Structure 1
Amino acid sequence: MAATTEQPGKLSEELEQRLRMALKEIRFGTVTLVIQDGKVIQLDKSEKIRIQ
């Protein structure tokens, strides 16, 4: 997913929604934002599944 913001430090509405959804859905793993020139250009989600 690639999403840019208008101003450095300010999240676009779409990016904020996607970030909230990624954080809400994940139990174990990482959510990473890739930033270039002060703007978020990518959101990565890596989920781990724990088997007991």
Structure 2
Amino acid sequence: MKADEKEELIAHLEKMMETLKFGSITLVVQDGKIVQIEKNEKVRLKPNKHR
């Protein structure tokens, strides 16, 4: 991986982590290279007595 590719990847990860409160970030690898970044966010709802 080239230095500029690493910097771009790190920048994307930092941005995702800043906005993620609960969840996960997954790196998708093909042929030994990262080709995709996925962010799964969990949102917890407050209990509602009327449900």
TM-score by length of 1: 0.69
> Identity over aligned residues, as a percent?
41
* Structure 1 residue 38, shift from structure 2 partner: 1.4
Name the structure where helix makes up a greater proportion of residues: 2
CA distance in 2, matches of 1:27, 1:35: 24
User: Within the alignment, does 1:12 sit opposite 2:13 as a pair?
Assistant: no
* Bigger RCO (CA 8 Å, 6+ sep): 1
CA RMSD between the two structures? 1.9
Q: Distance in 2 between matches of 1:39 and 1:46?
A: 21
Name the residue aligned to 2:17. Answer: 23
Q: Which has the larger radius of gyration?
A: 2
| Structure 2 spans left out of the alignment, 5+ residues | 47-51
